[in-house]
Amino acid sequence: MTTKIKCLLLDDELPGLTYLKMLCEQFPELEIVKSFNDPEKLVAELPLLDFDLLITDVEMPGIDGLRLAADLKDKLVVFTTAYKDYAADAFEIDAVDYITKPVTKERLQKAISKCVEFLKNKDQSPKFITLNTDKGKTLVYFDQLVYIKVSTTDSRDKEVLFEDGSELVLKNINFDSLLSQLPMDQFCRINKKEIVAFKAVHSFSHNELVLKSKDKTGYSIRLSLSETYRLGFLKQFKI
- CATH code, 222: 2.40.50.1020
Tell the burial category of 219 from Cβ atoms under 10 Å away from its Cβ (0-12, 13-18, 19+): exposed
Same domain for 55 and 114? yes
Same domain for 147 and 231? yes
CA distance 182 to 193: 16
| Number of alpha carbons in the 13 Å side-chain half-sphere of residue 210 | 7
CA distance 110 to 142: 34
Same domain for 47 and 23? yes
Same domain for 114 and 219? no
Same domain for 137 and 197? yes
Same domain for 53 and 111? yes
What pLDDT tens digit does each residue of the chain (239 aa) get? Answer: 457 999 999 999 999 999 999 999 999 999 999 999 999 999 999 989 999 999 999 988 888 888 888 888 778 999 998 877 655 555 566 788 889 999 999 999 999 999 998 888 776 667 889 999 998 889 999 999 999 999 999 999 999 999 999 999 999 999 999 999 999 889 999 999 999 999 999 999 999 999 999 998 999 999 999 999 999 899 888 64
Distances (CA, A) of 32 to 75, 126, 183: 15, 30, 29
- Give the residue numbers spanning the domain of 207: 128-236
Same domain for 84 and 138? no
Same domain for 99 and 65? yes
End-to-end CA distance of the chain: 27
Same domain for 64 and 144? no
Q: In total, how many domains does the chain have?
A: 2
Provide the CATH number for the domain around residue 85: 3.40.50.2300
User: What is the model's pLDDT at position 206?
Assistant: 92
- Total-model pTM: 0.53
Phi/psi for 18 (5° steps) reads: -60, -45
Same domain for 15 and 111? yes
How far is it between the farthest Cα atoms of the chain? 70
Nearest in space to 112 (alpha carbons), one of 32, 40, 218: 32
Same domain for 73 and 101? yes
Same domain for 222 and 146? yes
Domain stop point among 61, 94, 123: 123
Helix residue spans in 12-82 (DSSP H): 14-24, 39-45, 65-70
Domain stop point among 70, 95, 123: 123
User: What is the model's pLDDT at position 86?
Assistant: 59
Domain stop point among 70, 105, 123: 123
User: What is the model's pLDDT at position 121?
Assistant: 75
